[in-house]
Each structure stands twice: as structure tokens, then as C-alpha cells.
Amino acid sequence: MKGSNVIEEPLIIEDFGAEAITDKLTGLVLKRSLKTGWILSALFYFIFILIFTVAASYLLVKGVGIWGINIPVAWGFAITNFVWWIGIGHAGTFISAILLLLHQEWRTSVNRFAESMTLFAVACAGLMPLLHLGRPWFFYWLIPYPDTMDLWPQFRSPLVWDVFAVSTYLTVSLVFWYIGLIPDLASMRDEAQKRWQKLIYGVLALGWRGCAKHWRRYQTAYLLLAGLSTPLVVSVHSVVSLDFTVSIVPGWHSTIFPPYFVAGAIFSGFAMVLTLAIPLRRFYRLEHFITLRHLDNCAKLLLTTGLIVDYSYLVETFMGWYSDDVFDSYVVTDRAIGYYSGAFWLVIFCNVIVIQLLWWRRVRTNVVALFIIALLVNVGMWFERFVIVVSSLARDYMPSAWANFSPTRWDYAILFGSMGLFFFLFLLFVRTLPAIAISELSKLGHKLAKGQKAI
Amino acid sequence: MTASAQRDKIYGLLAEFADPRSLLHAVSSARVAGYTHLEAFSPYPIEGLYQALRLKHDRVALITLVGGVVSGALGYFMQWYANVVDYPLDIGGRPNNSWPAFIPITFELTVLGAALSAAIGMLALNRLPRPNHPVFNARAFSRVSKDRFFLCIKGDDPTFILTDARVFLNSLAPLSISEVRDED
């Protein structure tokens, strides 16, 4: 490494004024024609939505037996997908809430699409336990309501905590996202030429007119929402981890799980932010707004959270030995050399070895390298969840109760189908709403034009 | 038409500026000139504008606090009621009111209630949604969400006289001045 580690690239390249920023960002939605590339990718992902629909319908007809799960491995792909997807959402909340409170102004260009990513990821995540219920039409049994059987949910169970944590997370993320969108929806309303566009964006903008009195309350509310979302970044995946750690299964029953899961969540989320940001800035010519500095910062956060995850791997392994518990130490050994060792070493490769490349600035500012690393981390984090969920269940106390899990085609259909849903929703988002926060970026542009330094 | 009838029909006089600094200058000049019923509009929040307009403290934070506390308390009450009153279940003599296990849901509901109160409270105090405000009648106003800054001297200001207000706003060298009618 040579020279300073802070790259000199500005947050907004060229001296963009509010007019140019608004024209560019609203134009992406209102003026740009549908390109073949967009249509083909949308069709491609739509095929996966259809696969997902077929798989979910067949599941409703036949039950969860179509998956590879059985006793003892009763939690398979669906729970792995759930933990993975909800983790991905965390980076969006981290960017929009924590980085706002820390006055990290570089978040301005990435927060909008990262928040959208959060919504879509949490939507995908929410589907998984619902489908896994076996009888999803009874999902409302998880919600406390005065029923004729005079029964309540078990409020002492982490699974019920999860229902509250995830639904709160989804609701608060949605509210935060929408409140952030209101001034931009007003921009869309005012820029729209066609009547139906004016009508739709006008209704969604709620009549926002940029009144100073309104801005003041808006800023207070936005800051409070950021403050309220901040503990959610930590709490949601902690509660998810309690689903595992409150049980007594070796490999699950560990006090390190909550921080370990939270770090993994933000880690996988930043990988997904990069996976989305790199094509987004390339195809929509947003390099002026999402600069190499943004990518560099995201990569640094990816490395930092990755190292926390790596530390957790180390502690987990160490505790397996140090506990002097035969079951715990067996789980650790079995992961490394047993039936699931392929998945385990893939995790080590992606999440421990590959991310070390991010120590080099040349890698962090190389878009192609960064994209490949981000993809590998996505893969690595999915397999990490898989190893935790499946390998622990497959090898609990009694050897007579051991059994391996092998996924069926329906498991894969749900996994890849949910990915198709996620990317399809993201494609729709890019063409219907401003992918970068217009009013925030205009404000930042004004500040930069005045010669003030941004962080 | 009498002067008062004319005043009723006029929502205010709207001046357009190109940058935040001109708007800030216009607001403080208007205050010096004795106008009190002022409204300012901008595409993004402007530092110093609230002080210039002498806006009072907003109540969003209080609403959020109350919403969070009430929602959290109700959340705890629900769990306490279910486990202590409505369906007590003795499991190895453990206390029915097992408060540590009730904290996660209490916490989540506190955050949920506070967040919804912040959002709904902000919109309600701002009287939004309201798609049909008179200022939208001004043609120039469509750039408020882009790059223009507006000062409105309202017709209900005690010292508002249309011609005087126009002369005053003209002295600030705005890009344009438009009369905003209450109904059209």
C-alpha cells in the first residue's frame, strides 16, 4: 500500500447543481425509454418468479414434504434463506440510519436504493418462514388476537419474538423509506409530463410543497426514524439468532450468536449493496453520483464487518475445543471434515480468504474485482447460514438420530425463485422511483458548491 | 370590490428566488419590514431558515415519545395479561410474570409505536396529505421541488396591502412575483 488510504475522488463528480441533479434522476424514470437490456433482464427474473410461484403452489398442495427436510434436519433451505435474506436487509438500514446519525455524507448517494434493497430482501425473507409453516394459511395464529379458543401465542418463545421483530422491521423500514421518498415524489410530480404520471406521483407525494414549517417537522421525524431504526439494526438479527441459540442443539447453543449474526448480516448486506450498486451506476450512468469513493467506503465496511465475522468463526472453533464438551467439539470437527465440509470450506474461502484482498486500495477501487468479491461474499454468507442451520441439526447428541439433508429441486426452486423476485422488484424500483435521493443530493451538492468539505 | 373582499380572495404574494441565500435575505428583510405571516418554500431544508422565520419548537419529538411509551406499555401489558390473568400456566413453579422474556416484544412494539407516531404525527401536524394547496396555482411554483426558492407573504398578514407587498418584494429583486389566489 502506498500513499494515503483515503481516495481523493469527490462525492459528486463535476459541479452539478440542483437542476441538473433533479433532471438526471427524474429523467431516468420519466424520460428514458425502456431499453432492451432492462426488458430482457426483467423477463429473465420473471421466469424465476414463475418458478417460485409453481414451487410455492405445489408446496401448498403437497406440504413441506416436497423439500429435503425431515427429522432430524427439520430446518433446511427455507430457514437458511430466511436468515440470509433478512441479514441482507441490514446493510440498507445501517446506511440509512447509523450513517445518517454519524453524519457520513457519502451515504446520500446510496441510501435510497439500499433502503429499497432492504424492503425487497425483508419481503423475500418473510415469505420463507410462512412457507415453512406447512399450513401457511394459519399464519395468523402467530399474532395475538382474541380467539375463540382463548389461546395466546407463547410470548416467551424466540419464534414469537421473531414475528414481532421481523414485522416491526418491515414496517419501520417501509415507513422510513416512504418518508424519505416524499420530497422526491414531489419532484417526480412536478417533472412528470404525462397526466397519469402526474396523478400517480401527485397522490404519492401527499401534496408536499417544501414549506419551511413542514421541512422542520420532516427533519425531526426523519432523524427520529433514523434513531429508532438504529437499535433495529442490532436487535432484529439478534432475535433471529435467538431462534437457534435458545435451543440446546450443539453448534446453536452459544452466547456469541447475537453479535455474530448481526455482523454477518451487515457483512452480507454490504456485499448485496455492492452487487446492486456496481451494475446500477454502470447501466444508468450514475458514476457521477455513485463514485469510486462510495464503492471504496462500502468495501471498507465489507472488510471490517467481514473481519468481525471471521473473529466469530475463530471464537466458535476455539470454544468448541475449550468447552471440553464432546458434542460441541464434535460439531466443530464435523463441520471441517464431515459430510458438509465442502460447504464449510467454501464459507472459509469466501468470507475469510477472499475478503483479505480488500486491504488493497487497488482492489477496492477496481469495479470488476469488487463485483466478483461481493458475489462471492453473497455465496459465502448463504453457505454460512446453511452450515449453521443444517450441519448442527444433522449431528446432535445421539448418533442413532443422525441423518443428512439433501435438498430437492423444490428447495432450489424456492431459493432461486426468491432471488428472481428480489432482482425483479429492484428492476421495477429503478424504473419507477428515483434510485438516488434527489433532495438530499441537491442539498449536498449545494454544500459542496459552497466549498464546504463533506465527510 | 372592497379592499377586505379582495384580501379574502388572495392567499398571498409569492416571490421566486434562485438560491437559498436570497431566500434567507428575503425572509429577514420581510421581518424587518413588519410582515409576520410568512411562508418559505424550498427543494431541500435550509440551515438558518427556521430561525429567520422564528418557527416555534415542533412537537414531533413529543408525539414520538408518547407513542413509543404507550405502545411499549401496552405491549408489556398484553403479555402480562395473557400470562398472569387470562391463561396462567404453572411451569415448575416459575413466575407467571417472567419479565425478562417479555422484553424483546416490549422493545419491538416500543420502536414500532414510536416510528409510526413520528411518521403519522409529522404528516398530521403538516396537514398532509393535502394535494390542492393554493400555492400550486402559481405557475412558477412547479420548480419548488427542483431548484427554486419561494417566499410567500400571506394575505392574512395584518399589514398586508397588495400593492405595498408587491413593491416590497420587487425591492428584493426576485426572479418572478405571482399573486396566489385562494380559489381558482
What are the pLDDT tens digits along chain A (455 aa)?
A: 344 455 667 777 766 688 888 888 898 889 888 889 999 999 999 999 999 999 999 999 999 999 999 999 999 999 999 999 999 999 889 988 998 888 888 888 899 999 999 999 999 999 999 999 988 888 888 889 878 888 899 999 999 999 999 999 999 999 999 999 999 999 999 999 999 999 999 999 999 999 999 999 999 999 999 999 999 989 999 999 999 999 999 999 989 999 999 999 999 999 999 999 999 999 998 888 899 999 999 999 999 999 999 999 999 999 989 989 999 999 999 999 999 999 999 999 999 999 999 999 999 999 999 999 999 999 999 999 999 999 999 998 989 999 999 999 999 999 999 999 999 999 999 999 999 999 888 888 888 877 665 55
How many domains is chain A built from? 1
What is the amino acid identity at position A27? G
- Grid cell for residue A191: 417533472
Question: Do B103 and B138 fall into the same domain?
Answer: no
Whether residue A204 lies inside any domain: the answer is: no
Q: Does B113 touch chain A (CB under 8 A)?
A: no
- Residues in a beta bridge with B11: none
Question: Do B121 and B65 fall into the same domain?
Answer: yes
Predicted confidence at residue A454, as pLDDT, reads: 57
Residues of chain B scoring pLDDT < 70:
1-8, 183-184
Predicted confidence at residue A187, as pLDDT, reads: 93
CA distances from A421 to A47, A117, B1 (A): 9, 12, 63
Helix (H, G, I), strand (E, B) or coil at A433: coil
Chain A residues in contact with B47 by the CB 8 A cut-off are none
Predicted confidence at residue A20, as pLDDT, reads: 85
The domain that holds B27 is classified in CATH as 3.30.70
**DSSP one-letter string for B38-60:** EEEE-SS--TTHHHHHTPPPPSH
| Chain B nearest C-alpha distance from A14 (Å) | 17
Rounded to whole angstroms, how far apart are CA atoms B105 and A232?
A: 12
Q: What is the ipTM of this complex?
A: 0.92
| Cβ atoms of B44 and A446 closer than 8 Å | yes
Task: State which of B105, B125, B145 marks the end of a domain.
Answer: B125
Predicted confidence at residue A11, as pLDDT, reads: 75
Q: Does A111 touch chain B (CB under 8 A)?
A: no
How many domains is chain B built from? 2
Whether residue A148 lies inside any domain: the answer is: no
Predicted confidence at residue A32, as pLDDT, reads: 86
Q: In chain A, positions 178-207, which contact chain B (CB-CB < 8 Å)?
A: 178-179, 183, 186-187, 189-191, 202-203, 206-207
Q: Does A230 touch chain B (CB under 8 A)?
A: no
Question: Do B139 and B118 fall into the same domain?
Answer: no
| Cβ atoms of A399 and A17 closer than 8 Å | no
Question: Do B21 and B45 fall into the same domain?
Answer: yes
Chain A residues in contact with B50 by the CB 8 A cut-off are 212, 216
Predicted confidence at residue A414, as pLDDT, reads: 96
Question: Do B141 and B156 fall into the same domain?
Answer: yes
- Grid cell for residue B64: 414520538
Predicted confidence at residue A145, as pLDDT, reads: 86
Rounded to whole angstroms, how far apart are CA atoms B80 and B101?
A: 11
Quote the domain boundaries for residue B139: 3-55+134-181
Question: Do B109 and B157 fall into the same domain?
Answer: no
Of A144, A168, A212, the CB nearest to B49: A212
Predicted confidence at residue B52, as pLDDT, reads: 87
Whether residue A176 lies inside any domain: the answer is: no
Question: Do B51 and B89 fall into the same domain?
Answer: no
Rounded to whole angstroms, how far apart are CA atoms A279 and A299?
A: 16
Predicted confidence at residue B132, as pLDDT, reads: 87
Whether residue A245 lies inside any domain: the answer is: yes
* Cα radius of gyration (chain B): 25
**DSSP one-letter string for A86-134:** HHHHHHHHIIIIIHHHTT-GGGGGTHHHHHHHHHHHHHHHHHHHHHHTS
HSE-CB at A189 with a 13 A cutoff on CA atoms is 24
- Residues in a beta bridge with B180: B12
Q: Does B89 touch chain A (CB under 8 A)?
A: no
Whether residue A6 lies inside any domain: the answer is: no
| Chain B nearest C-alpha distance from A352 (Å) | 32
Q: Does B55 touch chain A (CB under 8 A)?
A: yes
Q: Do B102 and A160 touch (CB under 8 A)?
A: no
Q: Do A225 and B130 touch (CB under 8 A)?
A: no
| Cβ atoms of B149 and B19 closer than 8 Å | yes
Whether residue A426 lies inside any domain: the answer is: yes
Question: Do B92 and B36 fall into the same domain?
Answer: no
For B15, the enclosing helix (H) or strand (E) is: strand B10-17
Of A217, A239, A442, the CB nearest to B104: A239
**CA neighbor of A274 nearest in space, from A210, A365, A399:** A365
Q: Does B77 touch chain A (CB under 8 A)?
A: no
Chain B residues in contact with A18 by the CB 8 A cut-off are 43-44, 146-147
Whether residue A262 lies inside any domain: the answer is: yes
Q: What is the pLDDT of residues B48-61, one digit of tens each?
A: 888 888 888 889 99
Predicted confidence at residue A146, as pLDDT, reads: 79
Predicted confidence at residue A446, as pLDDT, reads: 84
Q: What is the pLDDT of residues B138-174, one digit of tens each?
A: 888 989 998 899 999 988 888 888 888 888 888 988 9
Q: Does A144 touch chain B (CB under 8 A)?
A: yes
Quote the domain boundaries for residue A423: 25-142+231-449
Predicted confidence at residue B159, as pLDDT, reads: 85
**Probe site for chain B from A147, A169, A224 (most B CB atoms < 10 A):** A224
Q: Does B156 touch chain A (CB under 8 A)?
A: no
Whether residue A34 lies inside any domain: the answer is: yes
Cα angle, residue A400 at apex, residues A397 and A404 outer, rounded to 5°: 85
| Cβ atoms of A99 and A110 closer than 8 Å | no
Cα angle, residue A18 at apex, residues B44 and A8 outer, rounded to 5°: 105
**CA neighbor of A423 nearest in space, from A13, A4, A46, A1:** A46
Nearest CA in chain B to A228: B111
CA distances from A58 to A55, A65, A214, A407, A410 (A): 5, 11, 50, 16, 9
Of A152, A156, A176, the CB nearest to B87: A152
